[in-house]
Amino acid sequence: MTAEVRRDDWGIPHLRADSAHALAHAQGHNAAVDRAWQIEFERHRSQGTTAAFLGAAAVGWDSFARQSRLDDTARRCFGNLDARTADWVRAYVAGVNAGLAEGARRTPEFASAGLAPGSWRPWTPLAVWLSTHILFAGFPTKLWREEAARALGEGAIDLFATDGPGTAGSNGWLVTGELTASGAPLLAGDPHRFIEAPGVYQQIQLACPEFDVVGLAVPGVPGIAHFGHTSTVAWSITNAMADYQDLYQEKLRRRGKSVEALGPDGWRPASAHLETIEVAGADPVTIEVIETARGPVVVGGPEAPSAVSLRHPPRVSGELGFDALPLLLRARTVDDVDRAFDRWAEPVNVVQAADTEGGLLHRVAGTVPVRDPANGLRTVRAWDARHAWRGLHESLPREAVEGFAVMANQRELAAPLGVEFAPPHRARRIRQLLGGAADWTAPDMAALHMDSQLPAPQPLLDLLAGLDGLTPGAARLRERLLGWDRRMDAGSTDAAAYAALRAAVVRRLAAHPALAALAEPAVADAYPEVFRPWLALTPRVAFALDGLLTTELLPEIDRAAVVRAAAEETGETDGSGPSWGALHRLAPWQALPDEQAGEGPGLSGDHDCVLSTSSIPGLTHRTVRGPAARYVWDLARRDNSLWAVPFGASGVPGHPHHRDQLPLWAEGGLVPVVSDWNRLRSPVPTVYEQQVDGFGTVRVVPVDPQQDSALIHRWVGQERARFWGMRDASPDDVLETYTFLDSLDTHHAYLLHLDGTPVALFQTYEPEADPLGECYDVQPGDFGIHLLIGPADGQQRRGFTGELLSVFLAFVLSDPAVRRVVAEPDARNTRAVDRLLRSGFVLGPEVDKPEKRARLTFLLRDGEQGRERTA
């Protein structure tokens, strides 16, 4: 098998191989090298083994993963794959296993967690997919509805209906050629998920003789499932908001060492066994894993007051939909995409696609069981035959596309398959914006991605408008918000004032006695920890606020009085205050804290805006969910397409492409898609490599001015690099300097890579061709060097600089013409001078150069002058 990896300017991997299997191996290897920590963490999540290195806080998830049988379900689904698909997945897994050791050496999280890379099984990619999406449809909402009905009566079962805090959605729109400047269709959108670091989507190109696809892959999973462009056809998905997971109230009893469950046909044996969860820093935890004829028990057990089992299609049928993945890669038309998605299972999505022959597609794909409508609302009785599954929906909804098609999780195309959908605000706004032009281009779509207009009407502002007799501060707040343009822009202080008022209203509603029976811990603490986000009252109130302010239920709540009290609480005295972006900052989820990451950027948008950057009003203004990627697929020419992710191509902290897209993403910028192989960067041309035991692999790589000047500019502009003399240099200045150096035969610049990550800049020169040659008596064989260590990135440790310098000196001295190494640090830079002396250099005189007073130091070859090599 042969494969090649190239990169574009943003470090995005482009993989090419001589067969589909070789390409799958290369994709797995690339995921392991670029995203080792991320995919290994996901493997442990799917197996329920994260507490072994994260500690007691992870026991809740591990218990759920084991009790819901995620890994075992994935193993079953792998066993049912088509033989060709199974071999393709095995090739990917072999690539992961081949690359994990290298990836782990590059990634400091492994050392921080005390974790060694493990071994992937053939079904692990399916387990990663399943664990990523098992809560995607939000089945714990049925537990919440059960509690709402118990506490407030049957009429309250829909009281909190909205796109709840545990669901994930997206915007997607397809514009036909009649409305584009090129005459060819455009697909665009942005999947909304909890924002994780590293990001859940990886930009990638996969090319072999059978296919050539660019798209957004899920690290740890082969192929490109959700968003792809083959040059002749492109596709994208949004969450259909279908209901396909059921919760059953179970009656369980013990019979000796066995467990029985009551079903429609009476008591029947259930499988049961014990598993032990290892916990870092604490005693192991033993759990019982029980499965009835309905499915795994995820709440309670035989001795608990209640027990609830989960029934979902992959566990029942052993089908996860992976047979669709290689078919999508080979698609040439929308008909090919359509047939591929016929194999799709979970999650249930709305698919949009367009091809260069004029084909269009807008359909639902996935597995949805046919059963009693009550199953979709709440938990149902396992022993009642009315709630058994009665087959699957065979003909899923689809519709023709005229002008444009929009799906933003609203109750439309997938309505027959779901219960609770997102409000129509985002879809309505996107349609409004699309209808305003007939010459759309790919760059135009950025304006839609970033639209921050709140929907109308606004019940909160309507109630505020009706208040009188307010104190001066509250009155000023009312007048200010009634004149506000209702855009949740990062720079808007009005948006921040609105958010503060909304948060106060949410807190007061959540504390109202009418909702006391739903307050924590009365509800949330009664269920396993993993379900608590769906059962917490304040987020439920926050996301259902419009409905709670307008419903005729709960007449004991005086909404106007609640808004009045909130306005008095948050009313202004002088009209000043923070901007929305100062409050609404990105707070990505990470398995381990990243002390180098700093505070996330301030963002525009809000939950119900097209730019759906969600906070949890009443708890935090921080952004916890938002666009996990943005894309525009252009069918006129693939390389006119655009995309962006929240962080970057690399999952390695400190890597130049670890977070380089973050500023662009925050402002709505998009990165150009490059699929022309001739425009991509070849693999790094290593000129010297050395493996240092206990340290890693160090490579000496020539600086490419066009590719590396942005990284160098970041390094030289820091205070720690003041002696380098380029703190005030602009990006163009740095590019010009290193382009000039690259043109010389006597001066060279190199980056030192430690396990693939650039960590230092070294430069060499021939003193007689340098201004330094006029300051001392140059000897034959003299060779000059400069050194700049990159910023601390989690990899640096005791002896770091010494090891790098030792490797670089070995590289320099590998040229027999070099007799003496010359260094000229700023005379004030005592740390650099001391470092050189500890590496065997000896002091020379101080000399005056135009830009500094320098201290010359010299190193002779071993045998001509001994030198100490201490780290």
For position 596, what pLDDT does the model report? 60
pLDDT tier at 869 (50, 70, 90 boundaries)?
Answer: very low
Residue-averaged pLDDT of the chain: 92
Mean pLDDT score, 550-578: 89
Choose between 276 and 532: higher pLDDT. 276
**778 and 706 co-located in one domain:** yes
Whether 704 and 572 map to the same domain: the answer is: no
Distance CA(714)–CA(11), nearest Å, equals 16
Same-domain check for residues 846 and 723: yes
Percent of all residues in the chain with a pLDDT value above 70, rounded to a whole number: 96
Same domain, 856 and 765: yes
pLDDT at residue 680 in the model:
87
Q: Are 734 and 712 in contact (CB under 8 A)?
A: yes
Burial class (CB in 10 A: 0-12, 13-18, 19+), 792: middle
The residues pairing with 764 across neighbouring beta strands, listed in sequence order, are 748, 785
SS3 (DSSP) at 857: strand
Same domain, 705 and 852: yes
The pLDDT of 655-662, averaged and rounded, is 90
Query: Stretch 718-731: mean pLDDT, rounded?
Result: 87
The answer to whether position 227 is within a domain reads no
Tell whether 660 is covered by a domain.
Answer: no
Examine residue 692 and state whether it is found in any structural domain, yes or no.
Answer: yes
Structure tokens belonging to residue 848: 């005056």
Which of 573, 594, 624 delimits the end of a domain?
624
Number of domains in the chain: 2
Choose the final residue of a domain: 624, 647, 674: 624
pLDDT band at 276; cut points 50, 70, 90: very high
Domain-located, residue 442: no
Same domain for 618 and 695, yes or no, is no
Q: Looking at residue 785, which CATH number applies to its domain?
A: 3.40.630.30
pLDDT, one tens digit per residue, over 502-511 is 999 999 999 9
Which structural domain range is residue 496 located in?
459-624
Q: Which residue has the higher pLDDT, 548 or 520?
A: 548
> Do 475 and 606 reside in the same domain of the chain?
yes
Closest CA to 325 of 232, 406, 211, 187: 211
Question: According to the model, what pLDDT value does residue 655 have?
Answer: 83
pLDDT in tens, 89-104: 999 999 999 999 989 9
Is residue 573 very low, low, confident or very high in pLDDT (cuts 50, 70, 90)?
low
796 belongs to a structural domain: yes
Residues 465 and 575 in one domain: yes
Question: What is the percent of the chain with per-residue pLDDT over 90, rounded to a whole number?
Answer: 78
pLDDT of residue 218 exceeding 60, the answer is yes
In a domain, 98, yes or no: no
pLDDT tens digits along 38-84: 999 999 999 999 999 999 999 999 999 999 999 999 999 999 999 99
Cα–Cα distance measured from residue 379 to residue 530, given in angstroms and rounded to the nearest whole number? 17
Last residue within a domain, chosen from 624, 651, 680: 624
Q: Is residue 618 part of a domain?
A: yes
Same-domain check for residues 589 and 484: yes
865 falls in which pLDDT band (50, 70, 90)? very low
User: Is there a single domain that holds both residue 723 and residue 811?
Assistant: yes
Residues 748 and 844 in one domain: yes
- Give the containing element (helix H, strand E) for 116: none
Are 726 and 848 found together in one domain?
yes
